[in-house]
Structure 1
Amino acid sequence: MMDEEETKPLRYLLRQFLSPEECKELEFIHKSNSTIGYRSNVFSTTLSHLIATHSPHFLLPFVPIRERLKDKVEELFGCQFQLCIEFTGLISYGKDFKGGLFHFQDGEPTTVVPMAGDVSIYTADDRNIHSVDEIIEGERLTLALWFTRNGDHDEDAKIISLLSNDMFHSSINVPKPFPGSDNMYWFSGDAMSDQKSGFDIRWARIIMLGFDIYSSQEKSSSLDLMEPLQLARESELYELKFVNSLHALQVVQFYCWKASELLNSKYDVETSKVVHLSQSQLLRIDSLKSLMMENKELAEMVLSCSSCAENGQNIFDWISFSTSIAAFEAYIGNLYKELQMSLPDWRKHGIVHSVSFE
């Protein structure tokens, strides 16, 4: 006869395991870097993708969270062995969404209502068969971690290898982000639908936050999103050029994440010149917007409609935005420095972990 413990569903629900600030930072990283995921209607951000797109410094906020979750799993399940982390990734199907309830086939709790900071832990076997309701509107952002006893599937070894074989750890300056191919960012919502009817994730996220993208590239019917771009807002053009679309997106998302903190910041900044858009420039913006957001209604339905105003920035001005660029550079600079200092210890022990530098 099968032992009762073997048939009992093993799952735990930990309320507010992650702090609001941790959730906000993960949201920022995801909305700044995500691509189309393993399904056509899913956005994902993996650690290996962050490395591949020249943004390895964004790994650092994941490290202490991974450690705490791993320790908690080993504690709750009474593991007599050390687990390995097989996969870490952010997946969104957010904050403003409808639908997305998490259901277990049997046992308690049967249904989990997603709440920011909560963690659901369960065994990956037939005792915890589960499903997720369709997302009707908006994004549902999930931090997913898979644990394993099999060291052959250890994600840390792969991450350390990618970082060690890369140029970043030997460079003093923070690398500029380098996007993947454009099709990795094109969302159509359904693999069976017309792939041309959709939107570019990077472009749409910037537009939804009140900005426009301007490019002086000569071709009127196309746009290379790996080339330098400028940001505009209403009738004004910000003259600073961003390295590419991913760079611009990261800065805009950081501005919206840190808006309230930037109100009284003391960064010394040189405000880039702001000029009025000419009629030809406005037409160029509209032309490119229609090209990169062919299905505006789909973008509005899928993407979170949160704005910078929710984070305390009710009135936009370019001075505050310039301040956010300086703050962004300081933020990623600190992360990159910590990454450079941590990597030798990671290689030595073969584990991605928090390193004390005291």
Structure 2
Amino acid sequence: MSEVDFQTQKHPRLFIPNFLSSHECKELEFIHKCSSTVGYRPNVFSTTLSHLIATNSSHFIIPFIPIRERLKDKLEEFFKCEFELFIEFTGLISWSRGASIGWHSDDNRPYLKQRHFSDVVMYTADDRNIHSVDEITDGERLTLALWFSRDGSHDEDTKLVSLLSQHLLHKSMASSCLPFPASSNMYWCSQNQASTDHFGFNICWARLHVLGYDIYISQDSSSGFDVSELMVKPVRLVRGSELLDHEFVNILHALQVVQFYCWKGSALQTNMSNIDSKVVKLLDVQREKISGINSLLLNDVNFASRIFCRRPSYLEENGCIYFNWTGIVAAIAAWEDYVLKLSKQIHLQLPYWRMQESLYNVQIDA
């Protein structure tokens, strides 16, 4: 299917099917599911480049850069505005069950429907291109959104380079790879999206829970935990009556590894023969502690079930990957290799970005 051009109908829009590769789609989905926070309206979640930097996950910016460049080139070509545009915003936005947005298009106007995450729709942000999103009835609808402007004062790259310089200038690659959660309010999903609403759930916990996991915190605390404290405590993964004897830096670190296994599970299956997974049976006292943690992170079971309603299994295009602890242990090492590779790239490219105040692909000889 070729590009669809509505320029001649006075509604400048461009539709390009399969603009993104399958690998790019899966990588962006992985980043969003392990990094997102609550969005701008109920049942909406977002991952912005500035948020990735703030949570010590700046290396995740690397996969966005070639996609941004290709989109910008195609947009400038279509609208005939070469070298005039600045990227104002880049972010992954998802709508979960029950979410809807926007305005209905006039029936007399040409209608374009994005059917897959790999498809791209480009249009002007004015009353000629009113857009909407249908209500989500199952799963999540994920969109990579980019806004462009001719006003250089809105260029997000200048701000991003400044943030990167502050966060990475005095950090080693290893220390810059471990995520650090933002304010716990940013992960609290409630019916009216008010952070102070008691009824709701923590989305980091919910994304783990829908895949069949709980978390266990071994550190003692006579006074108990609050949600903010819990977000930064070392955790272990639990599934059913079994506990993996591996400590993650925090819940965000555990979530990134689990989502990495969801993404790369089939590839990891071939490298598990020599891996020893240290799994122990849960004690009753540990079960009680897990129950207490769950009560802090989940106050509305039905609401959480409606938002993240998928069953706990790993499904890929080439079949089903069944859970095993050995796969998770393999994913820990593979995740470390992946983020270190990205971190190396960002450290090598940062000096060039600082000179140009722009994020772009830099060709560096090995």
Pairwise same-fold verdict (TM > 0.5): yes
1:39 is displaced (CA, Å) by: 2.4
1:131 CA drift (Å): 2.2
Q: What SS does the aligned partner of 1:161 have?
A: helix
Query: C-alpha separation between the residues in 2 aligned to 1:330 and 1:291?
Result: 33
Name the structure 1 match of 2:89: 87
SS at match of 1:353: coil
CA contact (8 A) 1:102 1:114 kept: no
CA displacement 1:244-277 (0-9 Å, x = unmatched): 11111111111111111101137975x4521110
2:241 is equivalent to residue 235 of structure 1 = yes
Aligned equivalent of 1:259: 265
User: What is the RMSD computed on CA atoms of the aligned residues?
Assistant: 2.6
SS in 2 for 1:241: coil
- Separation of aligned partners in 2, 1:276 and 1:83: 58
Cα contact 2:21–2:118 (8 A) shared by 1: yes
Change (3 A) 1:164 1:306: farther
Residue 157 of structure 1 pairs with residue 163 of structure 2? no
Q: Mean Cα displacement is larger for which, 216-225 or 183-192?
A: 216-225
The alpha-carbon deviation at position 99 of structure 1 amounts to 7.2
Q: Secondary structure at the match of 2:67?
A: helix
How far, CA to CA, are the matches of 1:114 and 1:195 in structure 2?
35
> Which of these residues, 67, 70, 78, is aligned with residue 68 of structure 1?
70
TM-score (norm 2): 0.88
Q: Report what 1:171 is aligned to.
A: 172
Structure 2 counterpart SS, 1:300: helix
Distance 1:97 1:325 in 2: 34
- Cα distance 1:169–1:44, how it changes in 2: closer, same or farther (>3 A)? farther
Q: CA deviation at 1:38?
A: 2.2
Structure 2 CA distance, aligned partners of 1:346 and 1:13?
A: 31
Contact 1:105 1:130 (8 Å CA) reproduced: no
Q: Which residue of 1 aligns with 2:128?
A: 127
**Residue 34 of structure 2 aligns with which residue?**
32
Measured at CA, do residues 304 and 114 of structure 1 come closer, stay the same or move farther in structure 2, by a change above 3 Å? Answer: farther
Deviates more, 1:153-162 or 1:36-45: 36-45
Report deviation, 1:42: 1.6
Query: Residue 3 of structure 2 aligns with which residue?
Result: none
Provide the residue aligned with 2:301 in structure 1.
Answer: 296
Matched-pair contact (CA < 8 Å) for 1:100–1:114: no
Q: Please report how far the alpha carbon of residue 109 of structure 1 lies from its aligned counterpart in structure 2 after TM superposition.
A: 3.5
Of 176-185 and 216-225, deviating more is 216-225
- Could you list the runs of 5+ residues in structure 1 that have no partner in the other structure? none
When normalised by structure 1's length, the TM-score is 0.90
- Name the stretch that deviates more: 211-220 or 124-133: 211-220
Q: Which letter does structure 2 place at the counterpart of 1:179?
A: P
CA 1:278–1:80 in 2, change beyond 3 Å: closer, same or farther?
Answer: closer
* Structure-2 separation of matches of 1:11 and 1:189: 35
Which AA in structure 2 matches 1:279?
D
1:300 and 1:107, CA in 2 relative to 1: closer, same or farther beyond 3 A? same
The offset of 1:195, in angstroms, is 1.6
- Listed one character per residue, the Cα deviations across residues 214-240 of structure 1 (whole Å, up to 9, x for unaligned) are 113424564522111111111111111
> For residues 161 and 6 of structure 1, do their structure 2 counterparts lie closer, same or farther at Cα, with a shift above 3 Å needed?
farther
Aligned residues: 352
Matching residue of 1:351: 358
C-alpha displacement of 1:114: 3.5
The 2-side partners of 1:127 and 1:169 are apart by 48
Between stretches 204-213 and 305-314, larger displacement belongs to 305-314
1:80: how far off? 4.2
Please say if residues 114 and 120 of structure 2, whose CA atoms lie closer than 8 Å, have aligned partners that are also in contact.
no
For residues 64 and 9 of structure 1, the distance between their equivalents in structure 2, rounded to whole angstroms, comes to: 28
CA separation of 1:56 and 1:159: change in aligned 2, threshold 3 A? same
